[in-house]
Amino acid sequence: MIQTVRALGVTAVVVASCLGGQAAAQTKQLTLCWAAWDPANALVELSKDFTAKTGIQMKYEFVPWTSYADRFLNELNSKGKLCDLIIGDSQWIGGAAENGHYVKLNDFFAKEKISMDDFMPATVVGYSQWPKNTANYWALPAMGDAIGWTYRKDWFARPEIQAEFRKKYERDLAPPQTWDELKQIAEFFQGREIDGKKVYGAYIYTERGSEGITMGVTNALYDWGFQYDNPKKPYQMEGFVNSPDAVKGLEFYKSLYKCCTAPGMSNAYMSEGLDAFKSGQVAMQMNFFAFFPGLYKDPNVGGDKIGFFVNPKQKYHFTQLGGQGISVVSYAEHRDDALSYIKWFAQPDVQKKWWALGGYSCHKAVLGDPSFPKSAPFAADFLKSMDIVKDFWAEPAYASLLLDMQKRVHDYVVADKGTAKEALDLLVKDWQKVFKDEGKI
């Protein structure tokens, strides 16, 4: 009897094992790769609807921003199969397209009636197209983003601070419209004591190792007149990268760094800015809109204490594009299922929920809704910002171009090496060498 029970038990285990194996074989799963940050958590929540609808399970590979580019560019360059879907940075699009890392989506979009006209133009150019301004699509716009600013609305509103500012500058203390106004406000707050604590004027990007200072300084450079090349002659950079106006923009960024930032911020990027603002160190902070939902919810500096504004203007008015598109990796083993995720994600209703959860939709059904500007305290500023975005090179050699700019700008702004004109002259020579090596000039 005991032997019979044991035998039946073994049989049952074997049967269960076989059934489990069949179930496992039938379970579909996609791996989505992105950076580890708040919007990624929102995407996990959103994607539960995709699994419920299709039965396809989602797995995620999220890595910190500090290792995001190295991790996933190495994965793509080695033709790895980890990622079925990847939300890749805007600058990767040229290299990913030309090196065959991403699936070209034109035929799929046509088949599924997904129109790029349904997405904000700047995001289509920035996240999807290669070559730029051509109807060749390698990603669906996924995460709209740009540089914006937060400020301590509660400090600005204090009657005694308002009165002192008005007496000194003969205008009301309010979010700045120009870079000159921003610096004036930063100087006003620099070293001031508020609630028994010494505070500083502004937080700006200075990080050297990856992309930080470039993503910061371009917000000023664009507004003074810096251009990457001659709009009428690609890769002709002399007189555009290092124009007299571009030199003035770089000089201004350094002056702001020197006059009005907190000590120890010589190699700082996104997370350091969030820490500085949350800890009450600074009156104003440069950062990506992606972080603003979390800041608004912060128990110490959120709610009525925080305000938002668009990147200031000067001679021109631009802001640095952030954000990413979502692509199907060409080496993926689950390409059809990955494409089904793209189809699902492109739906207007899904895009509306994406915004509601804390992601930044690029879809006109969301951004064009009359109620959108009032849907969040930072929504109207985000909308304005996405109309004035410019982006860094998206060339296949973007990494070399970026490291050159990181070095030249950081050497001047932070390390006090040479003049702004010398820094930009050297940058032109650096970039000319890159494009000569590529056979483009």
For the stretch 70-87, pLDDT in tens is 999 999 999 999 999 999
**What is the per-residue pLDDT for 101?**
98
How do residues 347-375 score in pLDDT, each as one tens digit? Answer: 999 999 999 999 999 999 999 999 999 99
**What is the per-residue pLDDT for 27?**
83
15 within domain boundaries: no
**What is the per-residue pLDDT for 26?**
59
Residues 101 and 216 in one domain: no
8 within domain boundaries: no
Residues 294 and 418 in one domain: yes
Q: How far is the C-alpha of 114 from the C-alpha of 27, rounded, in Å?
A: 28
Residues 345 and 327 in one domain: yes
pLDDT over 70 for what percent of the chain?
A: 94
**202 and 261 Cβ atoms separated by less than 8 Å:** yes
How would residue 66 be classed by pLDDT, with cut points 50, 70 and 90? confident
Residues 152 and 175 in one domain: yes
**Structural domain span for residue 380:** 27-145+323-390
Residues 74 and 188 in one domain: no
Q: What angle do CA 163, 165, 170 make, to 5 degrees?
A: 95
Residues 374 and 257 in one domain: no
Residues 220 and 304 in one domain: yes
Residues 400 and 358 in one domain: no
Question: Kind and range of the H or E element at 30?
Answer: strand 29-35
Residues 218 and 270 in one domain: yes
**What is the per-residue pLDDT for 1?**
36
Output the CA–CA distances (angstroms, integers) from residue 80 to 31, 35, 72, 75, 247, in the order listed: 12, 18, 9, 5, 43
**What is the per-residue pLDDT for 53?**
97
Residues 230 and 186 in one domain: yes
| Domains contained in the chain, number | 2
The chain-wide mean pLDDT, for the chain, equals 94
What CATH number has the domain bearing residue 70?
Answer: 3.40.190.10
CA pseudo-torsion sign 63, 68, 71, 72: positive
> Does the pTM of the predicted model rise above 0.85?
yes
**Token duo for residue 272:** 């350091």
11 within domain boundaries: no
Residues 290 and 151 in one domain: yes
Q: How far is the C-alpha of 123 from the C-alpha of 104, rounded, in Å?
A: 17
How do residues 144-167 score in pLDDT, each as one tens digit? Answer: 999 999 999 999 999 999 999 999
